[in-house]
Amino acid sequence: MVICVTLNPAIDAYLEVKKLIPGSFHRTEKEIYSPGGKGFIAAEILMKLGYSDVLSTGLLAGRNGLAWEDSATQRGVPGSYVYIHNGNTRRNIQIVDLTESTVTSIGTKGPEASPQDIEKLKKRLRPHLGRAEWILFGGSLPSGLSPDTYYELIKYFNGLGKKTVINATIEYLPRAADAIPFMLVEDPKEGEEHFGDIEVHSLEDEIKLAKSLMDRGIQVVSLSWQVIHNVIGIYGNVYHVHLVDPHIFSVVGANSALTAGLIHAIISGMEGPDIAKHAVATAYAVATKLEPDIDGIVQVQKVYEYVEVEKVL
């Protein structure tokens, strides 16, 4: 079983308007709402890849939380969530101006969690731990939680003999890396060129960083730039994986898909370069769609031909 934890999920709203004029009323031309959050997306992609023994879990709050859970359950992803009492699950709203082809984003601030909520979550997971081999933590932390939360959770579940995975933006990773997760997947953030105190400006820097993280005991490391270019370290080897002539529609959820692809490949018994190819192909399959979703494993296998893997270390 793979348990996928999203501590700060969001309802993702995609709204298209003819022309966005600040200060005026708009009627949408098209709207899509979906349950978002890196852990949930990874769980759903794992199921689409054919691995159905997943559990999506995390913290929800208020009416947005209920709506999120309803939508997540309708999509067929097995779930069990803990509700927190302060605030409301986030909404991430993307407004697309069809005339100017611009995207305006608004994110609500989300609920305030407490360490007690994390304890409740651990208690909720207890009856699943006998069967769970993997525990994935995806995305940001809600306010109210210590920056050490991922570090502590990874330490706790490592101690229980689980393969822990962290998929988050760079602000969470250096501290999470100190707990030595089994797998670390960076979600790229524009303008970020450092990992803790380490400067990362070039491909060589990324290769060195992947190697140094593996030297510390992390078995699988992925550093990527919008799916097109990826440095993936697997069991001591480093691969540069890039897409040939890519046609990317949206990278939303692509890194969660990459994480799901890595786990799926390892569970399926693939090795080194094949793991890297499968993971990036999964991410690319998602990036060719508007919603972070795939039709199935065949869609992933079809894009293998666009993925080039080169062993660089």
The residues that touch other proteins, with contacts defined as CB under 8 A, are: 55, 66, 69, 73, 76-81, 83, 85, 123-124, 126-128, 130-131
Q: How far is the CB of 127 from other proteins (least distance, A)?
A: 4
Q: Least Å distance between CB 130 and other proteins? A: 6
One-letter amino acid at 120 equals K
CB of 52 to other proteins, least distance (A): 10
Q: Is 140 helix (H, G, I), strand (E, B) or coil?
A: coil
What's the CA gap between 287 and 310, in Å, rounded? 21
Give 99 or 116: the residue with its C-beta nearer to other proteins. Answer: 116
Q: Smaller CB distance to other proteins: residue 131 or 189?
A: 131
**Residue 121 or 283 having the CB closest to other proteins:** 121
Task: Report d(CA 75, CA 32) in Å as an integer.
Answer: 14
Question: Which lies closer to other proteins via its Cβ, residue 45 or residue 258?
Answer: 45
Complex with other proteins: residue 44 or 206, whichever CB lies closer: 44
Residue 167 contacts residue 137 (beta carbons within 8 Å): yes
Q: Which CB atom, from 41 or from 55, has the smaller least distance to other proteins?
A: 55
The least CB distance from residue 80 to other proteins, in Å, is: 4
Decide whether 85 or 302 has the Cβ nearer to other proteins.
Answer: 85
Q: How far apart are CA 60 and CA 57, in angstroms?
A: 9
Q: Please identify, using beta-carbon distances, which residue of 7 and 168 lies nearer to other proteins.
A: 7
Least distance between other proteins and beta carbon 123 (Å): 7
Question: Distance between CA 137 and CA 7 in Å, rounded?
Answer: 8
Distance separating alpha carbons of residues 265 and 271, to the nearest angstrom: 8
How far is CA 169 from each of CA 124, 185, 223, rounded to the nearest angstrom? 26, 9, 10
Considering the complex, what minimum distance in angstroms separates the CB of residue 3 from other proteins? 11
Minimum Å gap between C-beta 78 and other proteins is 4
Rounded CA-CA distance 185/230 in Å is 11
* Parallel, antiparallel or unpaired: strands 183-187 and 220-225: parallel
Smallest gap from Cβ 85 to other proteins, in A, equals 8
Tokens of 196: 């803790």
CA angle 227, 195, 141 (to 5 degrees): 80
For residue 135, what are the β-bridge partners?
3, 164
Helix (H) or strand (E) holding 215: helix 203-215
Hunting for tokens 């105190």 — which residue is that?
Answer: 197
Encode burial over 81-98: b for 16+ CB neighbours within 10 A, e otherwise.
bbebeebbbbbbbbbbbe
